[in-house]
Structure 1
Amino acid sequence: MNEHSARIPGQRPPSAPEAGHGEPPAPDPLFTRTDPALGEFTLRPVDPAADAALLHGWVTHPKAVFWLMQDCDLAAVAKESARIAADPFHDAFLGLHNGTPAFLMERYDPAHRELVGIHTAEPGDVGMHFLTAPTTTPVHGFTRAVLTTVMEMLFADPATRRVVVEPDTRNTAVHALNEAVGFEVLRTVSLPAKDARLSTCTRDQFLATRGDHR
């Protein structure tokens, strides 16, 4: 690609029409990855109405403090999901682990969202956020497997050349994870709600970290 398209690389397809009456079918998965140790990971588009209660529980949990939605009620979470769904430069995806909802991933075009005026986006740049669901039974290596799945989904689109992230400078756990999958810190930047570590990861940088984590 020589320029940014109206929709970001690998954009979700239009929803399929309902077949008959009753509940609409669940969105089809857009990406599937099998982890040799942990099983199947899939991603599908967020349904703003159907997924609102689930996501509200996740983003208001203390673990999700860096998502800055601790005080949001259910209506606010549903409204934000609907806003993202209607945005031509932003998408949200629900991640499932062996069929059970387990993480949230957002993808955005940094030429138009989040980093406008801060990061000079290049063709093929794709922004990303991710959040794992709160749990009382953490599994070793699970969050890295989620991030690996997210990165594989983004790089499955040949138009994606580089992933861009802007985690809060205080989020030391995600900094370590980002480094583990190949992100390079460019600099600290000031965003409206946080100071962030602007970081990027090229396809080659990501592949160089894979090793036994394929």
Structure 2
Amino acid sequence: MPPTDATAHAANAAIDTGADTSPGTAESSAAEGSDSEDTLDLRLPDELIALFAAEADTGEARSDAPRAAPTLLTAPALTAPAFVTASALFATADDDLLDRVADWGPTVTPSGVFQLVPVQVERDLPLINRWMNDPAVAEFWELAGPRDMTERHLRAQLSGDGRSVPCLGVLEGTPMSYWEIYRADLDPLARHVPLRPHDTGIHLLIGEVADRGRKLGSTLLRAVADLALNKRPACARVIAEPDLRNTPSVAAFLSAGFRFSAEVDLPAKRAALMIRDRSLRNLL
């Protein structure tokens, strides 16, 4: 699970220590006990291979020859460029596991225009590291320390497969919060909580002390949860798991339209499982 609620003393949220949540830690399990004899062995017929070889030796096929309809088994599929094309035929929106967070764009909130901007380490590391060393943040994120500690946490996500995207929260043009938008169903959290395909998780910390204690957390949590539901049609729920001790954070989620689902024992904490349902978003 990613970090806990960083805003322990303000009604804002962040989630668990990053120890368990780097993008590469979630397991994609294969069925146990399978053996190689169950593998499907696909092989082109010898006659077809010989035909391709003959065409390669004689150069281009005659221009007046009838063209086969494009399929994965036509001759170009044996060449490198065609191999890329064939792979592209299988590409889906799922290739980007979070539907391009960078393109979610701005949203208008009661506190101003807000936007998630994916982190660039070289640009954002000093600011995020300063926030991580704030005692109110460090109590739950447990990432206080030198810059290289924060950098490792960020790069673990940025170098992964895209199941977690670290972002700055920019309000009226000013970076003021740190977010992690992640595929909860692909996270280690799924080992402990029943999750559904495409459940989207949120971790948040409010970075600046002046922004805490004025209900910004609730405002921004609602805005980002609604962004996720708007921009990810396959996502039916937005998930969070603040530390149960962090009463202001749990209250912020409740005010943002999340419902309390359960208490969950996680490796680093006892958490409140908070859920914002697409089906209930207009009621809460």
Same fold per superposition (TM over 0.5): yes
Instruction: Find the aligned partners of 2:140 and 2:212 in 1 and give their Cα distance.
Output: 19
Structure 2 residue 199 is the aligned partner of structure 1 residue 125 = yes
> What residue is the counterpart of 2:111 in the other structure?
38
Provide closer, same or farther for how the CA distance between residues 134 and 191 of structure 1 changes in structure 2, counting only shifts above 3 A: same
> What residue is the counterpart of 1:106 in the other structure?
180
SS in structure 2 opposite 1:102? strand
Paired AA for residue 74 in structure 1? R
What displacement does 1:146 show?
A: 1.6
Instruction: Find the aligned partners of 2:265 and 2:96 in 1 and give their Cα distance.
Output: 26
Maintained 8 Å contact 2:177/2:208: no
Maintained 8 Å contact 1:110/1:119: no
Question: Between the two proteins, what is the percent identity of the paired residues?
Answer: 25
Maintained 8 Å contact 1:186/1:200: yes
Provide closer, same or farther for how the CA distance between residues 135 and 204 of structure 1 changes in structure 2, counting only shifts above 3 A: same
Maintained 8 Å contact 1:163/1:202: yes
Structure 2 residue 245 is the aligned partner of structure 1 residue 170 = yes
SS in structure 1 opposite 2:234? coil
Structure 2 residue 268 is the aligned partner of structure 1 residue 193 = yes
Tell me which protein shows more strand as a share of its residues: 1
Deviates further, 115-124 or 133-142: 133-142
What displacement does 1:63 show?
A: 1.9
What displacement does 1:6 show?
A: 5.2
Paired AA for residue 39 in structure 1? G
Give structure 1 stretches of 5+ with no counterpart.
14-28, 210-214
Provide closer, same or farther for how the CA distance between residues 140 and 54 of structure 1 changes in structure 2, counting only shifts above 3 A: same
Per-residue Cα deviation, 1:91-130 (whole angstroms, up to 9, x for no partner): 1111111101011111111222131311222123111111
Paired AA for residue 104 in structure 1? Y
User: Matches of residues 136-151 of structure 1 in structure 2 within 5 Å?
Assistant: 136=210, 138=212, 140-151=214-225
Give structure 2 stretches of 5+ with no counterpart.
1-92
Structure 2 residue 82 is the aligned partner of structure 1 residue 8 = no
Paired AA for residue 274 in structure 2? S
> What residue is the counterpart of 2:32 in the other structure?
none
SS in structure 2 opposite 1:136? helix
Structure of greater Rg:
2
Per-residue Cα deviation, 1:140-197 (whole angstroms, up to 9, x for no partner): 3322222122112211222221011111111111111111122222222222211111
TM-score with structure 2 setting the length? 0.61
What displacement does 1:139 show?
A: 6.8
- Which structure has more relative contact order (CA 8 Å, sep 6+)? It is 2
Tell me which protein shows more helix as a share of its residues: 2
TM-score with structure 1 setting the length? 0.80
> What residue is the counterpart of 1:183 in the other structure?
258
- Equivalences, count: 189
